[in-house]
Homo-oligomer: A and B are copies of this chain.
Amino acid sequence: MAAPAAPIDFWFDFLSPYGYFASTRIEELAARHGRSVRWRAFYMRGIMQEHLGQTRPFLEVPLKGDYYKRDVPRMARWFNVPFKSGGLANFISANALRGFWLLHDLDPALARRFAREIFEWHHVRATPPNTPEQVAQAAANVGLDPARLDIAAAVQQPAAKARLRRETDAAVAAGVWGTPTFVVDGEMFWGADRLPLLDDWLRRGGW
């Protein structure tokens, strides 16, 4: 009996609208090729600062920032998904990312629903879920029983911080430097606009 095909790793930070766009497509794409998806949250700002030497806020980079501002709503229309941003600079995603991993330890399916909820708060409802209380509300919205986990308190604990740091280190170890990034069978694709290429790669078995 053949081993099942390896999953697609979907590396993301909630911060990027491109990650949100990709999150609406990746499950369907993977299923078409008989693959599952591992959702793997990491802290993008940590990689930018510690590894890429990018300290200037992206939107303030001349020319590039302007392109981004125009490209994002255009890509939302291309993906045909609702979009209203809470503002790149207004969202500190650390609490939500820690919350993702805490929920993942309880139930990966719940963590996935939470991830979709967080993407929606920031990129559809223009409400950056920054605080532990907002994270707890988002978790409750998708079915976390508060008796099971006090997530607002837990995201502020050293253990939750260390966990996100380990996952971010794992991203770096896998070669990830941007969000979203997809890795399958050791092959890496960066960016929502590379989804058609990932699709082609899986269809043809590489090229």
Q: Which residues of A contact B (CB under 8 A)?
A: 47, 51-53, 56, 61-64, 66-67, 70, 74, 77-78, 172, 175-178, 188, 190-191, 193-194, 196-197, 200, 207
Whole-angstrom distance between the alpha carbons of A62 and B56 in the complex?
A: 17
19 pairs, A vs B, C-beta closer than 8 Å = A47-B63, A51-B62, A51-B63, A52-B61, A52-B62, A52-B63, A52-B64, A53-B61, A63-B176, A63-B177, A64-B177, A67-B175, A67-B177, A67-B188, A67-B190, A78-B197, A191-B193, A193-B194, A196-B196
B residues in contact with A66, CB < 8 Å = 175
B residues in contact with A52, CB < 8 Å = 61-64
B residues in contact with A62, CB < 8 Å = 51-52, 177
In the complex, what's the smallest C-beta–C-beta distance from A34 to chain B, in angstroms? 22
Whole-angstrom distance between the alpha carbons of A59 and B67 in the complex?
A: 23
In the complex, what's the smallest C-beta–C-beta distance from A67 to chain B, in angstroms? 6
Whole-angstrom distance between the alpha carbons of A145 and B12 in the complex?
A: 55
In the complex, what's the smallest C-beta–C-beta distance from A73 to chain B, in angstroms? 11
